[in-house]
Amino acid sequence: MRRNPPMSDSTYRGTTPRPADFDAFWDARMAEADAVPLCYAVEPSEIPAYPTCEYLNLWFTGMGGARIYAKYLRPKSDKPLPLVLQFHGYPGASRSWLEQSSFAGMGYALLAMDCPGQGGKSQDIGGFLGTTVSGHLIVGLDGEPKDMYYVRLYQNIRILCRIVRQMKDIDQRRIYINGASQGAGLGIACAALNPDLPCKAAILYPFLSDFQKVFELGADEIAYEGLRYYARWFDPDGSRANEWFTKLGYVDAVHLASRIRCEVLFGTGLADVVCPPITQDAVYNNLTCKKRREFFPGFGHEEIQAFDDMLLTFFDDAPVVPCPVSTPTAEYQTVTFVADDGATLSARYIRPVGNKRVPTVLMFHDAGRPVRGWHHMTRFVALGYAVFALENRAEADAQTQFADAQAAARAALSLPTTLNLIAWGEGLGGTLAIAAAAKQPQHVVKCAAQNPLCTGAYADCAQYAAQLVCPLLMGTSGMDTIAPPDAQNVVYDAASCDKKRYIYVKYIHERINAFEDRVLAFFHPMV
């Protein structure tokens, strides 16, 4: 295990060679993308439209005639909307509709494109010269630079940007970029190669950065493993290293960074062993635009809620703070209340702007993690709902946690804008959601639980499930060793209410995009 690096190197600008014709190369590639006739369609998705937000599929024709897919979320509005271009990590796909709803909750439309040949719907038409077996980073590396995978991907992003410029319901003065890991690398490419489109970009631990330095550090693993395989198979003595690293330099974020004009918020987890911080230093130091960098000691290549929370104000030209008091779409506050044993409990509460009574999502988090971030929970505002999220007492025993969940339900019901409750949680949070719903049959109208803890001290979960009156949606990971499927069977079988369950055979105790989409559809007021 590599030790954490120093805070940063403000002078380091990268090791990967910059091709001599770098700017001319990209001018030519963008001209090729601009020559592709625009052909796109927007259609309803499988998620029913909410009164406050639409969930749409966007398909367009990319380079070589490939069909490229993007999720398109659009809050209901009579005015042109700001737009976030969201890019996903490697080798996945656009995240769930529910997760993407956070920006819609901020009043922004969102486009999230699936990268071809990865984990989503976009078509990869192939035709690359050389190996394709060890990651997209080296796909096409044996051919002409213009035929590399990431060159083609950056061109497809250009075509998406051309589509954005045609959208009359989008405020062209307020286009933003957001991405982490590969998504951050793609965000840099998007901002660099379309410099007059975005006004701000949020970049978190970018992949696709300083390839040769990654190789020299021995960090050519996981997402970067293609570098190691390529060297082993095609350049075992290193005699061609300058040749192929120079070719990779065309798609290296280090060289693209200087072309960016928009303001950049840049985040780095100092314990990141996937995208080493020194490679991120090189990207940041090559930025000549207005910029700000945030460091997160102890965080690796993982979700960093504190960074996400900064986006609530960064995109709105407001001071970047850990938690806003209010935004144009929502009110944010911490609520305290008293537990049955006299202890003071705390919850995060977000509600849509205004005094209208609305459904409130009663949210509980899993064991071993903190309460969810403010940006994360803003997704429910997109639905027209409030959210009330208990901060669990980690040291409390199971019975105390059950009692705290019920106290949280009572506290949420006491708020003047609460119409009714929808209970939701994952892991321990799923257990507490079931318990809270069981004890508030007149007020909890739906309950969703993913992988609820239900063994040992939490075996009472089945008894609470038997008391449920409201509909239950349950998701189970087939390989979960923390909440074993057999134990979850007992919970589900105990429930006599209207219920539905989905089993995800190859998942462990983790978030599941597909189930989050089920949750979003289940929460719809017409379901």
Q: What is the domain-level CATH number for residue 254?
A: 3.40.50.1820
pLDDT tens-digit profile of 138-153?
999 999 999 999 999 9
% of the chain beyond a pLDDT of 70: 98
pLDDT tens-digit profile of 313-340?
999 877 776 777 889 999 999 999 999 9
Considering the domain architecture, whether residues 498 and 383 belong to the same structural domain is answered as yes
**Using an 8 Å Cβ cutoff, are 86 and 190 in contact?**
no
| Final residue of a structural domain among 247, 280, 314 | 314
pLDDT tens-digit profile of 380-411?
999 999 999 999 998 999 999 999 999 999 99
Closest CA to 252 of 86, 66, 13: 13
Q: pLDDT confidence of 217, banded at 50, 70, 90?
A: very high
Considering the domain architecture, whether residues 35 and 154 belong to the same structural domain is answered as yes
Segment 208-225 mean pLDDT: 97
Helix, strand, or coil here: 443? coil
Dihedral over alpha carbons 153, 154, 159, 162 (to 10 degrees): 160
Residue 16 lies in a domain: no
Q: What is the pLDDT of residue 8?
A: 78
- Please report, as a single letter, which amino acid is at residue 262: C
318 or 345, greater pLDDT: 345
Other C-beta atoms lying within 10 Å of the C-beta of residue 344 = 8
- Please report, as a single letter, which amino acid is at residue 305: Q
Res 2 pLDDT > 50? no
Helix, strand, or coil here: 357? coil
Q: What is the pLDDT of residue 230?
A: 97
3-state secondary structure 129-193: CCCCCCCHHHCCCCCCHHHCHHHHHHHHHHHHHHHHHHCCCEEEEEEEEEEECHHHHHHHHHHHH
Question: Can you tell me the distance from the alpha carbon of 525 to that of 527, in angstroms, rounded to the nearest whole number?
Answer: 6
Helix 398-413 × helix 428-439 angle, to 10°: 60
Q: Are strands 263-269 and 291-296 parallel, antiparallel or unpaired?
A: parallel
Considering the domain architecture, whether residues 428 and 302 belong to the same structural domain is answered as no
Considering the domain architecture, whether residues 354 and 236 belong to the same structural domain is answered as no
Overall number of domains in the chain: 2
Considering the domain architecture, whether residues 303 and 184 belong to the same structural domain is answered as yes
Segment 408-423 mean pLDDT: 99
Residue 491 lies in a domain: yes
Considering the domain architecture, whether residues 371 and 472 belong to the same structural domain is answered as yes
Residue 344 lies in a domain: yes
Q: pLDDT confidence of 127, banded at 50, 70, 90?
A: very high
Residue 324 lies in a domain: no
- The first and second tokens of residue 389, run together, are 């999220």
DSSP for residue 326:
B
Considering the domain architecture, whether residues 244 and 348 belong to the same structural domain is answered as no
Dihedral over alpha carbons 139, 142, 145, 149 (to 10 degrees): -10
pLDDT tens-digit profile of 487-515?
999 999 999 999 999 999 999 999 999 99
| Final residue of a structural domain among 285, 314, 343 | 314
**Using an 8 Å Cβ cutoff, are 271 and 300 in contact?**
yes
Q: What is the pLDDT of residue 527?
A: 81
Considering the domain architecture, whether residues 47 and 180 belong to the same structural domain is answered as yes
Question: Can you tell me the distance from the alpha carbon of 432 to that of 401, in angstroms, rounded to the nearest whole number?
Answer: 7
pLDDT tens-digit profile of 193-214?
999 999 999 999 999 999 999 9
What backbone torsions phi and psi does residue 124 show, to the nearest 5 degrees? -105, 115
Question: Can you tell me the distance from the alpha carbon of 453 to that of 428, in angstroms, rounded to the nearest whole number?
Answer: 5
Residue 319 lies in a domain: no
Question: Can you tell me the distance from the alpha carbon of 184 to that of 182, in angstroms, rounded to the nearest whole number?
Answer: 5
User: 278 is in which domain, residue-wise?
Assistant: 22-314
**Using an 8 Å Cβ cutoff, are 520 and 493 in contact?**
no
133 or 465, greater pLDDT: 465
Considering the domain architecture, whether residues 87 and 34 belong to the same structural domain is answered as yes
Res 22 pLDDT > 70? yes
pLDDT tens-digit profile of 84-103?
999 999 999 999 999 999 99
- The first and second tokens of residue 158, run together, are 């250009």
Q: What is the pLDDT of residue 316?
A: 84
Q: Where are the beta strands (DSSP E) in 434-483?
A: 444-450, 472-477
Residue 1 lies in a domain: no
Burial degree of 440 (CB within 10 A; 0-12, 13-18, 19+):
buried
Instruction: List all residues 6 or more positions away from 202 whose beta carbon is below 8 Å from its beta carbon.
Output: 176, 177, 178, 179, 187, 264, 265, 267, 307, 310, 311, 314, 315
Q: Which stretches within 261-347 are classed as H helix?
A: 277-286, 305-314
| Final residue of a structural domain among 259, 286, 314 | 314
Q: What is the pLDDT of residue 57?
A: 99
Helix, strand, or coil here: 268? strand
Q: What is the pLDDT of residue 6?
A: 54
Residue 15 lies in a domain: no
How many helices (H) and strands (E) are present in the chain, helices listed first? 17, 17
Question: Can you tell me the distance from the alpha carbon of 111 to that of 286, in angstroms, rounded to the nearest whole number?
Answer: 27
Segment 2-16 mean pLDDT: 75
Segment 36-41 mean pLDDT: 99
DSSP H or E segment with residue 466 = helix 461-466
Residue 325 lies in a domain: no
Res 184 pLDDT > 80? yes
Considering the domain architecture, whether residues 29 and 156 belong to the same structural domain is answered as yes
**For residue 216, how far is the Cα from the chain centroid?**
30
Q: What is the rounded average pLDDT for all residues in the chain? A: 96
Considering the domain architecture, whether residues 121 and 261 belong to the same structural domain is answered as yes
Q: What is the pLDDT of residue 7?
A: 64
Q: Where are the beta strands (DSSP E) in 395-525?
A: 418-426, 444-450, 472-477, 499-504
Considering the domain architecture, whether residues 508 and 430 belong to the same structural domain is answered as yes
